Structure formats: structure tokens, C-alpha cells
Structure 1
Amino acid sequence: MIETRELTKLFKDVRAVDGINLTVARGELVALLGPNGAGKSTTLRMLTTLIPPTSGSAQVAGFDVVRQQRDVRLRIGYIGQGNGAGHSQRGRDELISQGRAYGMTVRAARTRAAELIDSLGLSDVADRTVSTLSGGQRRRLDIAMGLIHAPELLFLDEPSTGLDPQNRANLQEHIVRLRAEHGTTIVLTTHYLDEADSMAERVIVIDHGRVIADDSPQQLKAKHVGDRVILGFAGSEEAARAAAAIGAQHEGGFIRLTAEDGPREAPKILASLPITPTSIEVTRPTLDDVFLTLTGRSLREDSSTPAAELVEA
């Protein structure tokens, strides 16, 4: 569904995207992670034909994003960070108008709008003006607008931003069900690590406009961080004796180890110790731990987007 080769975007002297190579298969749900200014949104804007690349190439649904923009747009849905529906319009009318813009007949647009309203839980509010809807309802309406023409590929740019935890959970459920029921290929950017961890089968980490990691959440955590096994002892002497037996270091009354599979390795570690610890703790890593290991900073650190991105080179 997506294939890029050395995709690059310059804004004045800033390389917002620096030679990205991506391949996304049909039916995948892929999350792009990275701090603000890393190049995620710029990459999505090129893939959705909103801005042209400076160099390199990209094909989306089999069509070139520069030479075949119309063909690309007919096959994708794009939900940006802002709300797409007019505040003074009714939700159902906006969906029908969006369908008509894609060349659907009035009857087909109305039928499709009704299907989406039902599947996204908007039946009770579809005929209200958009300005009266809650944040979660507006985001679901945005997704419906992106799906009105049944696209093969859906781009979601930080879909949960600004939503409360309950609305976030509801929206995630709708996205997962959409993929399961229709086989839609989904690419999303997010700052919510639990969202990427629970939804995506692949996570692509972008920093300074380049891909620095690409794997499943489980493999990224196992490869770059590993589980933490912390053993507690009655005192420093006991910890030192246990550490010497397994070739580890101790800090006061504790030994801290890294294991690929902590729950499986912990019993083996205990069996090799000459003294029984007073406590044991196994901690699973997070995707934020992965990003911290790869870049030396937390994914949640908010680096501002360069002002130069506002002006194209």
C-alpha cells in the first residue's frame, strides 16, 4: 500500500524528512512515533499529496504521489489533527456532502453515511450541528468523513489528541474494529504510547526526519530495552554474595538485571543464587523506554516544530 524511496522534504535549511524508506503492506496497522518536529506529520502530508517531496519518491495504493495525485486521493482517507466538519453544519449533511465530493450519488452517499453513523456510534447525535458535539463525537465524525468513500488506506494524524481517557479508549476500539471488519490499512501518528502498543502490529520510530527503528512493539522492547529483574536482599553483604555467584553488580541490598523475557528467566536466576532474596520484581519495558534508549530522550519531551517548516524551500 505504501512504498517510499529516499523520501525527503526541505523547509529552507531544515530537513524535516531526511531520506525515509518505508514499506507498508495491505491490511497493516502501523504507528509512527516521534517527538514534535521529528517529521511524522510532514511524512503523512507528502503521502497524502498535501505537499510535494523535495526529492525521492513515494507510491500510495500503487500510484505516484506527485504524478498521480487524483488516483491517490480517491483511494485514501486522511484525518488530520484539526476537526474537518463545519461547525454550523449537521453531521449527517457533512458526511453526505463529503461523499458527493468523491462522486457518489446522493442515494449512495446517504446510505454510506447511515452505515458509518451506526458503526461509529453517532446515531443519537448525527442530526445535531457539529458545534454541539463533544470532542470524542467530533473525532468519530472526522473518521466517518475520512471513510465515506470506503478508502483502501486510512491516515490518522494524532487522532486522540485532546480527548479524555474514556473517549480515547472508545476511539481506539472503533479504529481496531474498522480494520478487523473491513481490512482497511491504517497508518497513525500518536504521542500516546499505550495507543501504539495496544493497537499497532508495527511501530516505526522517527527522529530528526529519519527512521531509526521499525518492528513490532514486543520486538522493539525486547531488542532495545529488555525486562528488568530487581532482586532485594536483607543487606549489602548478602547482595554482594549473590551478585558474585551470578557475575552481576549490586547496589546496596539490590541486584538489577536485564533479561529478554523476565518472567521466564527469573526462576532460573533464583535457582542459581546461593541465598534467597527477600523480594523480587519484574518490570516490563514501555515504548517510551525504547525511545529513550534509541535517542537519549523521552518521547514525551515536547520539542517545538521549527518555524522554518512553515515556508517551503
Structure 2
Amino acid sequence: MRTRWLGDRDGRVEVSEFCLGTIPFGTRTDEDTAFALLDRFFEAGGTFIDTANSYDQWADSGVGGESEIVIGRWIRSRGVRDQVVVATKAGAHATKVPGDPAMENWEGLSGKAVRRAVQGSLERLGVDRIDLYYAHWDDREPELADTVGEFGALVKEGVVGAIGCSNTPVWRIERARELARAAGVAAYSCVQQLHTYLWPRPERTGFDVITPELIDYAKSEPEFTLLGYKPLLRGAYTRADRPFERGYDHPTSASRLEVLNQVAAETGATANQIVLAWMMQSDPVIIPVSAAGTVAQLDEQLGAVDLQLDQETMRRLNTAGTDET
């Protein structure tokens, strides 16, 4: 699997071009299945694993941190700590455990909360350093300088490598990076947002989505990387029992789906594989953060890694649903 460098001069990590999402590990996905998925991903050359301290507090039995615990056990049992890049996040873990994981109960991103969160993640993962650390959700309560300063301090101390943010609007990303530069500390070098081939309805295009504005921003900042989570919309592209959520169910989606399915038929690939390959070959590149419930599902997704889409195919995919079609 090809690799990419993520980060800047203050902290760089080499990651696989496909990132494995692990939200349900330890809750809806039992440990044996999680280990099988991690084994297969690693065997295929995957090195980039994504989790958060809040995963999966939304599951019936979840309290948060289960995914980190499972990943930590897998790393130790396989002896691969130096061969994988682990990304985790702070800010969305519920302070009521067990309890209601609604946003008003989240730990937030004050400097003190971030410091507590990173210590918890280090313990659950069983590591002494987190390769990539995210601010999980934009928190307007603390001063942004407080959050930025704590993330920068963690990099300086060697507790974390590269840092990034998630579910954050463009102007807040740029403001945070400006504050970091002024303070002489590491800045966010990536953002992870919701992204897929279909366009969301305008009312769904918010601070947690990769927008055209964010794409333009990334093009202007060569050391700033985009990552897209939930790229396959929970299986809606290929499963009749998984309808598209309302935010993606509109007339333009039909036009784009038609072209997507045409390309899939022409290449012999699945629609899921085309979506993932399209992301990895976009300008700028968008690293997919995608989960799988079975090894067979993961194998299908990994088929996108070696799928090359020519310029004309990318043009057709990109212009579907526009006046340029």
C-alpha cells in the first residue's frame, strides 16, 4: 500500500493512504473480529489506524475508550508498535460514565481537559506516545488559544507527534493555525471531516463536512491534509437495505449515482471501490477513514488501493450532476 507524509516540520508521520476506522471495536465489534480486521489491514500494508477516546460511548454497552483498549491489546499481542500509526482524539468523551453521551456532557477542549484526555488515551492504548492527536469537535467554550497551547505543548513534550482537528469550520482551523504560529508551537496539520462522493443537501453542509471552501484551503496549504470519514455512507452505495440518509437523497444524487455505477460497471469494480479510489486520487488527495464489519467487507474496500482511475474517468465523476457533464 502506498504511503503519504502527514504533518509539517513540527511533527510528521508516514501513514498508509487508507485509514482504518474502528468506532465499534470492543462494543458492536467483538475483540476477535476486531483483531481479524486489524490483522488483515496490516497484512495488506495498512499502517494508519483511527480511534477516539469517546468510541464507542454511543453503543448500548459503551462508555468510551473501548476501541482504544482493543487496539492497544492488538498492538502488544502482535509486537507492531513501531510499524503502525495510531490516531486518537480528545474532546467528545462524556463526563457522565455511564450516562448520557449527549454533547452537553462532553469533556470539551480546555487545556486541562485535553491534558486529562491524553493521559487516559495513553493508558488505554498502552503506549508512551500518540502518533496523531485530534481535537475531536470544535469547542467554543474555552479560549481557542488555550486549546492550541495545550496541543502545542504535547508536541513539544513528545507526548504526541502530529496534531489535527475534526468537525471544525474552516475559519476556526485557520484561526487556530494562526495562533499556533504566533505562539511558536505546532499547528493543526490535518482535518478529518465527513466526506463522500455524493453531495449533501445545502442544509447538511456544515462545520463537520469537507466543503469546497475547505478543499480550496487545503490546496493553498501544501502541508495541510484532508481526511474523510464515513465515505461509504454505512453501505448505502451497494446495499438495498441501507438507504441513503435524507441529507444525501436528492435529485443531483441520482445523476452522480448513475455515473458512479457506470464507471463501476466499466472497470469491474464495486461502487464502494470507485468512491474510495476517487477520494485517494482527488486534488487534493483525501485520505479515506473507513470502517468494516467483516474481513470480506474490508477486502472489498482494500481493492480500491490498486484501482487507478484515468483522467477522463475522474473528469466524468467530478462533473456528474453539473452543467459540465
Shorter-chain TM-score: what band? 0.3 to 0.5
TM-score normalized by the length of structure 2: 0.33
Is the strand fraction higher in 1 or 2? 1
Flag the structure with more relative contact order, 1 or 2, with Cα contacts below 8 A and sequence separation at least 6: 1
Between Structure 1 and Structure 2, whose CA radius of gyration is higher? 1
